[in-house]
Amino acid sequence: MTKPIITIIGLGLTGTSMGLGLQREAGNFEIVGHDKQPEVAQQARKLGAVHRTEWNLFKACAGAELIVLAVPLHELEELLPLLAEEVKPGTLIFAIGSLLLPAIEKGAKHLPDGVHFVAGHAVITGVGATPSARPDLFEKAVFALAAGVKTDPAALQLASDFVERVGATPLFVDALEHDGVMAGVEHLPMLLAAALMRSSASGAGWREAKRLAGRHFAEATDVGGDAAALFAALQANKQSVVLKLQKMRQELAEWQVLLENDAENTIKSDNTQAVTVHPLLAALTEAVQARSSWETQVILKNWEEQPDAPVAKAESSGFLRQMFLGGLGNRQRKG
């Protein structure tokens, strides 16, 4: 009997780690990989993330019932029309990225009826280390899931099963609200990083300053290394990013006032004794404590506070129940 095929398109950090994560336990499926860069595909094959690779996109997707797209958002516009010509009815296309609504809209635009589309966002924190491809990269990670209005609920459950298989925690989210949150926690930080880098590199003192720039500068100016991908994300999430940027301008103005303030405020400590503290120090202390609390939650994978976007935890289920739910394609054709 032919094994069900899972195809992973895009074999970078996310795609390779997914392939490795799927195989932490034995499974009755074949993983086929494809990447537009042959050397990347070859490396994923050497790591054992896929059982085989195909240079030709259509050969990689031939017979696949689940196709994972681990590619930047701007590549979907070209990729989805190509897949639409070849994928069979009932196929689930699972796109992974930081924005859900634009991906869902592209899926609805390009894919024919009967082909299911789910968008997902794997939150890889990387606190304390640079992420690398490994089987447990998604262990206990939050994995947001959203689907278009025409997607069969069983296909969304299939995506949830996939997420659990690689060790992550699936969360069903509202795509629009999710993307609004991402504007503040991913896209605004990268935009500010780009602004800081350009401002520094174009300054008169950069020739000397670049010799003294260290780890903090490196972390603060990390824009991901792909201008086209960041541009596409900022354009697709423009409204939300602009709102966050406006709020940040107000915040920076407040920090300027704090920095210029020479007065010290008298506050009450826990033992009711008056303590004199500079407002800037008080603000910095608040920021450090908030960062420390968040980092602890990240490391422990223990989120005590409710997330900003309304989410509902997916119920645990068996991986790819009934191995692709008894065939979404068969059920679709019967309808």
3-state SS, one letter per residue, for 28-39: CCEEEEECCCHH
Name the token pair of 71: 């590619």
Nearest to 133 by CA among 221, 70, 208: 70
Q: Each residue of 137-164: pLDDT tens digit?
A: 999 899 999 998 888 999 999 999 999 9
Residues 121 and 98 grouped into a single domain: yes
| Position 237 confidence tier, pLDDT thresholds 50, 70, 90 | very high
Residues 105 and 231 grouped into a single domain: no
| Position 317 confidence tier, pLDDT thresholds 50, 70, 90 | very low
Residues 133 and 36 grouped into a single domain: yes
Residue 220 has pLDDT above 50, yes or no: yes
Coil, strand or helix at 146: strand
| Position 311 confidence tier, pLDDT thresholds 50, 70, 90 | very low
Nearest to 33 by CA among 3, 57, 63: 57
Coil, strand or helix at 159: helix
Residue 169's H or E segment, with its range, is strand 169-173
Residues 123 and 159 grouped into a single domain: yes
* Cα 10 from Cα 229, distance rounded (Å): 14
Q: How many structural domains comprise the chain?
A: 3
- Full residue range of the structural domain in which residue 185 is found: 175-260
* Cα 29 from Cα 41, distance rounded (Å): 19
Paired strand residues for 52: 32
Contacts of 314 (CB under 8 A, 6+ apart): 145, 157, 160, 163, 164, 169, 170, 171, 172
Nearest to 96 by CA among 71, 63, 123, 59: 71
Angle (CA) 70-98-67 rounded to 5° is: 25
Give mean pLDDT, residues 59-74: 95
Residues 291 and 200 grouped into a single domain: no
* Residue at a domain's end among 231, 260, 289: 260
Name the token pair of 85: 């010509």
Instruction: Check residue 60 and report its DSSP letter.
Output: H
Q: Give me the chain's average pLDDT, please.
A: 88
Give the CATH number for residue 195: 1.10.3660.10
Angle (CA) 191-93-11 rounded to 5° is: 60
Residues 186 and 160 grouped into a single domain: no
Residues 159 and 227 grouped into a single domain: no
Give mean pLDDT, residues 165-175: 96
Q: Each residue of 24-57: pLDDT tens digit?
A: 988 899 999 999 999 999 999 999 999 999 999 9
Give the CATH number for residue 130: 3.40.50.720
Q: Check: CB of residue 289 under 8 Å from CB of residue 122.
A: no
* Cα 34 from Cα 103, distance rounded (Å): 20
Residues 156 and 9 grouped into a single domain: yes
Residues 232 and 287 grouped into a single domain: no
First to last CA, the chain: 26
Instruction: Report pLDDT for 307.
Output: 46
Task: Work out the percent of the chain whose per-residue pLDDT is above 70.
Answer: 87
Q: Each residue of 111-138: pLDDT tens digit?
A: 999 999 999 999 987 666 678 899 999 9
Instruction: Report pLDDT for 327.
Output: 53
| Position 325 confidence tier, pLDDT thresholds 50, 70, 90 | very low
Name the token pair of 198: 């350009």
* Cα 27 from Cα 191, distance rounded (Å): 41
Residues 256 and 286 grouped into a single domain: no
Residues 185 and 105 grouped into a single domain: no
Residue 190 has pLDDT above 90, yes or no: yes
| pTM, full prediction | 0.85
Contacts of 331 (CB under 8 A, 6+ apart): 90, 152, 154, 325
Phi-psi group of 63: left, alpha or beta (phi > 0 → left; psi -120 to 50 → alpha; rest → beta): left
* Residue at a domain's end among 260, 293, 321: 260
Residues 68 and 153 grouped into a single domain: yes
Q: What is the per-residue DSSP string for 235-267?
A: HHTHHHHHHHHHHHHHHHHHHHHHHH----EEE
Instruction: Report pLDDT for 148.
Output: 83
